[in-house]
Structure 1
């Protein structure tokens, strides 16, 4: 009987020890799950860090490309401005050439008119000179 009581006592102690081990096991399992979560989170952080670095590198590359394109655009705008100014100068020169051409035509027309008048005046002058000579000849005679 005493042996049974000791065995029951020992069985109860073993049962209590088993329960304690189950509790410790559950506690360790919880810690491992948390550790697993932390490990998963660390992997996630590493992945996000890698993605961030790649994004930053891509962003820098895009920024450099934007800067190059901006410089290129500025050069194109400057060339466009130069061409517009040259075209404007060409138009101004063409207009001035047209003005000079018109002035030359007017001058030639005025010259022709003056030559015609001069021819008439010379004709009249020659006529008067001839008449004068005739009168002088008559007056001498």
Structure 2
């Protein structure tokens, strides 16, 4: 799934989704870990732990997430059941990969330089992984 919007000033899933979309995706990803498809009513009830959210609003947002390709929808009688197209891990992996690609395309050496500057506070296991990757690249993969 190609990166559509990335909001620098937000955090977490709000970088990719609107606030309600992010909450809905989190609920569905949590359900997916338990192999569950959820109805609009299920999601609305889980959202109500925070505040009252109108059923029609939840339905509209979930259907838009289907249109955008983030959710799958299937009919079960008169109820629609939803589940994410990919796991949260896969989504974040794909989005970070796409973002990295875009940064490299646009800024190349500057992006690498800034990423290296950020390594000062990283754990040693990540540094070792980076060193292994660099050595493989030097050897021609």
TM-score bracket, normalised by the shorter chain, equals under 0.3
Structure number with higher helix proportion: 1
TM-score normalised according to structure 2 size: 0.18
TM-score normalised according to structure 1 size: 0.18
